[in-house]
Chain A
Amino acid sequence: MARADLITSIVFMILGLAIAEESWRMPTYTDVGSSIWAAPGMVPGLLGLALTFMAAILLFRSIKARRGEGVPEGDADDVLPPEPGSRGRVALTLVLCLTYAGVLVGNMPFALATGLFTFVFIMIFELWGHPEAQRNWLRHAVVALIIAVIAGWLIAYVFSNIFFVRLP
């Protein structure tokens, strides 16, 4: 964790300073008779400095921890614990979810997008790495298809007809 903290603390310090700098450059409206304390940049500026300060403490601590540990190797994977396949699973989840919410929704009927997403998501994660499930793929596909059809239709129906929400 010390290595991750080292990186993030530097990121947060830069972020905090950038925010403080941006806040400093905001108009103060003192020329039209407003108090300097009411300037828009006042609170974000202070918060930016607070973030920088706390990140500096974190930086100091992570350096101390790394020195104390004295084992620089082996913590390369501490952001994602070294469980086999977990990175792949995270990546796959991200790809599926971002494709659905970022691309499909809004470019095709909502019910269709939802059904498609649900089906693909279930199929991939049920079959991937499960040889037994792969042999029975047809059964899995039928179940996933039923869920996908019902989910797509039901969610679209409930939100548009009961909650009066316009679908994307």
Chain B
Amino acid sequence: MQGLEYFLTAIVSFVTDPMALFNVAWATLLGITVGALPGLTATLGIALLTTLTFHMPAESAILVLVCMYVGAIYGGSRSAILLNIPGTPASAATSLDGFPLARSGQAGRAMGIATSGSFIGGMIGMLALALIAPVLGEIALSFKSPEFFWLALFGILISGQLTTTGDSLKGWIAGVLGLLVAMIGQEGIHAYQRFSYGWTDLSGGLALLPALVGAFGFAEIIGVMKARNYETAGRAKDRIIPRPKEIWRYKRTIARSGLIGTLMGLLPGVGEDMGAWMSYAAAKRASPEKDQFGKGAPEGLLASETGNNAAVPGAIIPILTLAVPGSAPAAVLLAAMFIHGIRPGPMIMIESPAFVFQVVAMVFMATIAMLVFGLLLTKPLLRVLSVPREKLMPLIFTLCTIGSFAIAGREFDIYVMLFFGVTGFILREMDYPMAPLVLGIVLGPLLDSSFRRGMVLFDGDFTGFLIQPISAILAAACVIMVLASVPFIRRPVVAGLRRLTGRGGADS
């Protein structure tokens, strides 16, 4: 109950301080903008603001950064829904159902659903942060090399399966291609430069962001310009604020996605993007309307957006309890705390519990601000849809170019973006999905180092990857998913299950 008191004190101090409210407002708005622009990510946004907020008191500075973080992860859904270009990797799953909804003239509804999902997800994550942060911090510690290896593999398999219809093969090929891209450059164990051939730019590896902007952004631009006749998705006249009933219908999906998102957020190296993918996969598996997923299912959109925003407070949990960031943007947030003389770590609950609940209050303020701006901005944002492609696409391409350049200030990244754009377009034309490829680039280093590190720890004995309970479950899930895709294994099993349960639906 002490905690509630700290929380309420912090909330009151924020609400009664006009300066704090002003900070919440501009930082969240800037965050949404950064997230929505293809090429600017939450990580870049927080890093920029860390410098700009140096002279603020610690509390205000962290408040601004938390608002930027929450806003940016949410903002990525705007471009994912309207343009089919996820603004951040976290929104790739959002575009699966968000964009089809928008194309069918329900962009307003889609953005409303996404906003509600993000809001509720943020709140679920916040509750976890407030109530059981120390316990969850310990869960993060129970993930060691074998668990991370299986989780990374599972992520690729599931994303490959979800982004293809019927047959997962092309999704998995795309995923493996992404993993292979991640192998380029200096590896983490011997500092050997793989596939770089003495090229300094390659020896650093291909950065995620230019690849993402190319595969999603540039490839989409080419795809849009290709069609001879292109209808702008008519002016949506649907409701923007979703009916409570529509959201309540999916209460199970929301609760599940919130929990999955929080869990994915708190695992180091596994971030908001996996929060969205895992929630989406779980929602599809449990849903009675599986076949609607990928064609504009509100449930899928809700799951993805709840999952990625729940991962934000999730990623803040290990920052506070272990001083380990749960995701890339969270790493910068952690650095900012150090710079402001705050010492997160296992002692923080004992030494400064008030700060922990201040952070909870910051997440609360940011999530509220995100909801308000999200709903206010929906109407003006819908205008994007009525801009003809001839005028819109060059502007988006300009943003893709400068965004790729901005992340590290090197022209090489522009060429990376162009390469992934052209290759991505060709692969998309042949029904290879881009999302597993991008996720492969994200998870590649984790898969690589956790496999080799685990093998070193177990002296080359692979059974070490199978004996712990969590790794055994994840391994089983991977194996089942692969086996189920082999027709002559799946058919008898499905038939058997039908006989057992007396109904269909085991087929995914």
Which residues of A line the B interface, CB within 8 A?
A: 1, 4-5, 8, 12, 19, 22-23, 26-27, 29, 34-44, 47-48, 50-51, 54-55, 57-58, 61, 79-80, 83-86, 89-90, 92-94, 96-98, 100-102, 105-106, 110, 114, 117-118, 121-122, 125-126, 129, 144, 147, 151, 155, 159, 163-168
Q: Which of A12, A39, A118, A164 contacts B48 (CB 8 A)?
A: A164
- Asked if B409 CB lies within 8 Å of chain A CBs, one says yes
In chain B, positions 376-428 with a C-beta closer than 8 Å to chain A are 389-391, 393-395, 397-399, 401-402, 405-406, 409, 411, 414-415, 417-418, 421-422, 425-426
Q: Which of A40, A90, A101, A155 contacts B418 (CB 8 A)?
A: A101
- Asked if B69 CB lies within 8 Å of chain A CBs, one says no
Chain A nearest CB from B241 CB (Å) reads 30
Q: In the complex the two chains form, what is the Cα distance from A40 to B395 in whole Å?
A: 42
- Counting chain B CB atoms within 10 Å of each CB, the highest count among A83, A90, A164 belongs to A90
Q: A121-B394, A125-B390 are in contact. Are A34 and B190 (CB under 8 A)?
A: yes
Main secondary structure of the interface of A (DSSP, over half): helix
For B168-180 the 0/1 string (1 means CB < 8 A from A) is 0110110011011
Specify the chain B residue showing the minimal Cβ separation from A48.
B180
Q: In the complex the two chains form, what is the Cα distance from A12 to B180 in whole Å?
A: 12
A residues less than 8 Å from B431 (CB atoms): 1
Q: In the complex the two chains form, what is the Cα distance from A57 to B487 in whole Å?
A: 12
Q: Which of B183, B430, B460 contacts A47 (CB 8 A)?
A: B183
Chain B nearest CB from A131 CB (Å) reads 15
B residues less than 8 Å from A61 (CB atoms): 169
Asked if residues A101 and B173 are in contact (CB atoms below 8 Å), the reply is: no
Asked if residues B226 and A86 are in contact (CB atoms below 8 Å), the reply is: yes
- Asked if B148 CB lies within 8 Å of chain A CBs, one says no
Q: Which of A51, A80, A165 contacts B429 (CB 8 A)?
A: A80
B residues less than 8 Å from A34 (CB atoms): 190
For B214-229 the 0/1 string (1 means CB < 8 A from A) is 0000100110011110
Q: Which of A51, A57, A93 contacts B226 (CB 8 A)?
A: A93
Q: A38-B455, A155-B399, A165-B406 are in contact. Are A44 and B173 (CB under 8 A)?
A: no
Chain B nearest CB from A115 CB (Å) reads 10
In chain B, positions 141-190 with a C-beta closer than 8 Å to chain A are 169-170, 172-173, 176-177, 179-180, 183, 187, 189-190
Q: A89-B228, A100-B397, A163-B48 are in contact. Are A40 and B169 (CB under 8 A)?
A: no
Asked if residues B190 and A37 are in contact (CB atoms below 8 Å), the reply is: no
Asked if residues A168 and B227 are in contact (CB atoms below 8 Å), the reply is: no
- Counting chain A CB atoms within 10 Å of each CB, the highest count among B179, B180, B409, B417 belongs to B180
Q: Which of B390, B425, B430 contacts A121 (CB 8 A)?
A: B390
Asked if residues A159 and B406 are in contact (CB atoms below 8 Å), the reply is: yes
Q: Which of A35, A80, A110, A164 contacts B460 (CB 8 A)?
A: A35
Specify the chain A residue showing the minimal Cβ separation from B398.
A114
Which residues of B line the A interface, CB within 8 A?
A: 40, 44, 48, 51, 169-170, 172-173, 176-177, 179-180, 183, 187, 189-190, 192, 194-195, 218, 221-222, 225-228, 389-391, 393-395, 397-399, 401-402, 405-406, 409, 411, 414-415, 417-418, 421-422, 425-426, 429-431, 447-448, 451-453, 455-456, 459-460
- Counting chain B CB atoms within 10 Å of each CB, the highest count among A29, A48, A118 belongs to A118
Q: A100-B397, A151-B395 are in contact. Are A37 and B452 (CB under 8 A)?
A: yes
Asked if residues B173 and A12 are in contact (CB atoms below 8 Å), the reply is: yes
Asked if residues B452 and A97 are in contact (CB atoms below 8 Å), the reply is: no
Q: A43-B448, A101-B418 are in contact. Are A118 and B395 (CB under 8 A)?
A: yes
Q: In the complex the two chains form, what is the Cα distance from A113 to B425 in whole Å?
A: 24
A residues less than 8 Å from B189 (CB atoms): 38, 40
Chain B nearest CB from A114 CB (Å) reads 5
Main secondary structure of the interface of B (DSSP, over half): helix
B residues less than 8 Å from A41 (CB atoms): 194
- Counting chain B CB atoms within 10 Å of each CB, the highest count among A38, A97, A122, A155 belongs to A97
A residues less than 8 Å from B180 (CB atoms): 19, 44, 47-48, 51
Q: A36-B460, A86-B228 are in contact. Are A117 and B455 (CB under 8 A)?
A: no
Asked if residues B226 and A44 are in contact (CB atoms below 8 Å), the reply is: no
Asked if residues B415 and A102 are in contact (CB atoms below 8 Å), the reply is: yes
Asked if residues A167 and B402 are in contact (CB atoms below 8 Å), the reply is: yes
A residues less than 8 Å from B221 (CB atoms): 93, 97
B residues less than 8 Å from A85 (CB atoms): 228
A residues less than 8 Å from B228 (CB atoms): 83-86, 89, 129
Q: In the complex the two chains form, what is the Cα distance from A165 to B447 in whole Å?
A: 32
Q: A40-B189, A94-B422, A97-B397 are in contact. Are A168 and B402 (CB under 8 A)?
A: yes
A residues less than 8 Å from B225 (CB atoms): 89-90, 92-93, 125
Asked if residues A55 and B194 are in contact (CB atoms below 8 Å), the reply is: no
Q: In the complex the two chains form, what is the Cα distance from A28 to B391 in whole Å?
A: 53
B residues less than 8 Å from A55 (CB atoms): 173
B residues less than 8 Å from A43 (CB atoms): 183, 447-448, 451-452
Q: A101-B417, A118-B395, A151-B395 are in contact. Are A168 and B183 (CB under 8 A)?
A: no
Q: Which of B172, B409, B448 contacts A166 (CB 8 A)?
A: B409
Q: Which of A83, A101, A129, A163 contacts B227 (CB 8 A)?
A: A83
Specify the chain B residue showing the minimal Cβ separation from A124.
B390
Q: A40-B189, A163-B48, A163-B406 are in contact. Are A35 and B179 (CB under 8 A)?
A: no
23 A-B Cβ contacts within 8 A?
A4-B430, A35-B460, A43-B447, A47-B180, A54-B169, A54-B176, A58-B170, A79-B426, A89-B225, A89-B228, A90-B425, A97-B397, A101-B418, A102-B418, A106-B411, A121-B394, A126-B390, A151-B398, A163-B48, A167-B402, A167-B405, A168-B401, A168-B405
Specify the chain B residue showing the minimal Cβ separation from A46.
B451
A residues less than 8 Å from B393 (CB atoms): 93, 121
Chain B nearest CB from A2 CB (Å) reads 11
